[in-house]
């Protein structure tokens, strides 16, 4: 990639929200905001330019994603930042992008929601030996996406966009956990969740493996804003719980107290059952209309793969302390998260206990002794949540 332009407009669809200089390593300089459309500037960068730098850096594919280095080398990129620039920072979760100064490009011409693309970068992280003919690629090779797991965006025959995700290591449990979580939400008759399905993947040794896929819930009329981005509008104290600042921001944007409580209550309790330790602030989001900027509610629950003790060996499962589990969420203590729940009845415990664990038999590392242990731990969580629903503040008995 040679002769990169240094000046770009940050665009929100066809609205020029600022002009800025961007170096090849992704550093922003001389940010000139368009005050006339200040409301279209990214929420996460509205406080000051430092916050805007953080928003921009968060847009790039993480350097820690599995397989990122060889994929960059094969595609001829020096870094994830240079790849971000070459692909105009396009995303399948919002309507922001960058236009080189002096060029005349429209949103209609380049957006990934309606134009064809090939996610060659994602293909190479999922399948490093893939023979990709770059001459057949579109101008824009991939969309920005967060997370360390291998990911690939695809276009279905009906035009819908969907993402395929892989797993860490040899186990398929992270993908199977997404299927298990999907079944839990179905049993609850809860509607605002992302459905995951299993897909076959080619592994590095050439054999067939398993991943999972889900359809994009964003589009030209719906974009997502993560809780992390929303929290950039506040001055937070070190070690402060993020729950109340996040709630206050959502309410200030027009979300009702009931809508906030009902969604977060349900998510906290189902994450507790799943032992989802990765509900960090990029795994919660709200949706808005990019044209009117009206808040549309919470994005469907997504990314529940880091759950069900996926990163613990069988021997480690025998020494689990359910009252000492730490999580990446509003606070560290999984049990204390329950203290934020207003309506303890939102989860049907009896329905949650009916889930079939046979899905885990598909895991390549399953040796018929791990599943019973996972089920035992899950049923202990069921009993603990039942006690909580009966009025027992279970976090108080442990601290």
DSSP, residue by residue, 370-390 = HHHHHHHHHHHHHHHHHHHHT
Strands 208-215 and 223-226, how do they pair?
unpaired
Extract the tokens encoding 147: 């997370």
Detail the DSSP E strand segments found in the chain.
7-12, 15-22, 28-33, 96-100, 151-155, 161-165, 197-202, 208-215, 223-226, 285-288, 295-298
pLDDT at 247: 98
pLDDT at 25: 74
Residue 81, C-beta contacts closer than 8 angstroms, at least 6 positions apart: 24, 25, 26, 60
pLDDT above 60 (res 363): yes
pLDDT at 231: 96
Inter-residue contact 92 to 161 (CB < 8 Å): yes
pLDDT above 70 (res 346): yes
Average pLDDT over residues 109-121: 83
pLDDT band at 166 (very low <50, low <70, confident <90, very high): confident
Higher-confidence residue of 104 and 203: namely 104
Burial of residue 200 (CB within 10 Å: 0-12, 13-18, 19+) is exposed
pLDDT at 327: 96
Architecture of domain 223-398: Orthogonal Bundle (1.10)
Is 326 in a helix, a strand, or coil? strand
How far is 129 from 206, CA to CA, in rounded Å? Answer: 9
pLDDT above 80 (res 368): no
pLDDT above 80 (res 137): no
Lowest mean pLDDT among 106-115, 260-269, 364-373: 364-373
Extract the tokens encoding 203: 């592994």
Closest by Cα among 326, 192, 196, 307 to 260:
192
Alpha-carbon dihedral angle through residues 215, 217, 220, 226, given to the nearest 10 degrees = -130
Q: Mean pLDDT over all residues of the chain?
A: 87
User: For residue range 13-24, what is the model confidence (pLDDT) as tens digits?
Assistant: 999 999 999 987
Detail the DSSP E strand segments found in 178-293.
197-202, 208-215, 223-226, 285-288
Sign of CA dihedral 36, 220, 253, 12: negative
Among residues of the chain, what percentage have pLDDT more than 70? Answer: 83
pLDDT band at 2 (very low <50, low <70, confident <90, very high): very low
pLDDT at 134: 37
Q: In the Cβ-directed half-sphere of 71, how many Cα atoms lie within 13 Å?
A: 27
How far is 203 from 185, CA to CA, in rounded Å? Answer: 30
pLDDT band at 74 (very low <50, low <70, confident <90, very high): low
Q: Where in the chain is the domain with CATH 1.10.1070.20?
A: 223-398
Average pLDDT over residues 37-54: 95
Alpha-carbon dihedral angle through residues 297, 303, 304, 309, given to the nearest 10 degrees = -150
User: For residue range 295-307, what is the model confidence (pLDDT) as tens digits?
Assistant: 999 999 999 999 9
Average pLDDT over residues 220-242: 95
Average pLDDT over residues 77-105: 85
What is the length of the chain? 399
- Classify residue 25 by its DSSP letter: T
* Chain-centre distance for alpha carbon 43: 18
Inter-residue contact 310 to 303 (CB < 8 Å): no
Higher-confidence residue of 314 and 383: namely 383
Average pLDDT over residues 109-131: 69
pLDDT at 117: 85
pLDDT at 326: 96
How far is 184 from 187, CA to CA, in rounded Å? Answer: 5
Higher-confidence residue of 131 and 35: namely 35
In this structure, how many other beta carbons lie within 10 angstroms of the beta carbon of residue 257?
11
Higher-confidence residue of 268 and 133: namely 268
Strands 151-155 and 161-165, how do they pair?
antiparallel
Average pLDDT over residues 238-266: 96
Lowest mean pLDDT among 16-20, 42-46, 133-137: 133-137
pLDDT above 90 (res 168): no
pLDDT at 127: 57
């Amino acid at each position: 990639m040679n002769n990169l332009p240094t000046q770009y407009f940050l665009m929100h669809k066809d609205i020029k929200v600022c002009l800025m200089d961007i170096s090849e390593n992704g550093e922003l300089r001389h940010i000139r905001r368009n005050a006339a459309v200040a409301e279209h500037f990214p929420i996460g960068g509205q406080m000051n330019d430092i916050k805007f730098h953080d928003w921009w850096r968060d847009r790039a594919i993480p350097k820690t994603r599995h397989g990122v280095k060889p994929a960059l080398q094969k595609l001829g990129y020096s870094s994830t930042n240079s790849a971000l620039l070459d692909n105009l920072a396009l995303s399948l979760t919002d309507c922001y992008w960058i236009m080189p100064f002096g060029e005349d490009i429209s949103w209609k011409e380049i957006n990934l929601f309606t134009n064809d693309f090939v996610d060659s970068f994602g293909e190479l992280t999922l399948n490093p030996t893939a023979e990709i003919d770059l001459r057949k690629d579109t101008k824009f090779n991939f969309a920005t996406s967060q997370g360390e797991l291998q990911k690939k965006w695809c276009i279905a025959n009906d035009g819908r966009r969907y993402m395929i995700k892989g797993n860490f290591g040899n186990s398929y449990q992270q993908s199977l956990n997404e299927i298990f979580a999907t079944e839990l939400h179905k049993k609850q008759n809860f509607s605002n969740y992302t459905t995951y399905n299993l897909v076959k993947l080619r592994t590095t040794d050439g054999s067939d493996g398993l991943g999972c896929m889900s359809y994009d819930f964003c589009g030209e009329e719906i974009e997502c804003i993560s809780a992390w981005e929303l929290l950039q509008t506040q001055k937070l104290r070190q070690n402060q719980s993020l729950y109340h600042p996040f709630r206050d921001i959502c309410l200030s944007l027009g979300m009702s107290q009931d809508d906030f409580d009902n969604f977060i209550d349900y998510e906290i309790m189902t994450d507790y059952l799943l032992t989802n330790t990765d509900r960090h602030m990029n795994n919660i989001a709200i949706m808005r209309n990019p044209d009117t900027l009206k808040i549309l509610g919470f994005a469907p629950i997504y990314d529940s793969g880091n759950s069900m003790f996926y990163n613990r060996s069988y021997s480690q499962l025998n020494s689990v302390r359910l009252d000492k589990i730490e999580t990446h969420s509003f606070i560290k203590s999984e049990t204390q998260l329950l203290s934020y729940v207003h309506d303890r009845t939102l989860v049907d415990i009896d329905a949650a206990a009916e889930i079939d664990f046979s899905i885990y038999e598909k895991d390549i590392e399953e040796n018929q002794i791990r599943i019973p242990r996972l089920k035992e731990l899950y049923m202990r969580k069921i009993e603990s949540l039942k006690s909580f629903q009966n009025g027992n503040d279970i976090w108080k008995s442990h601290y």
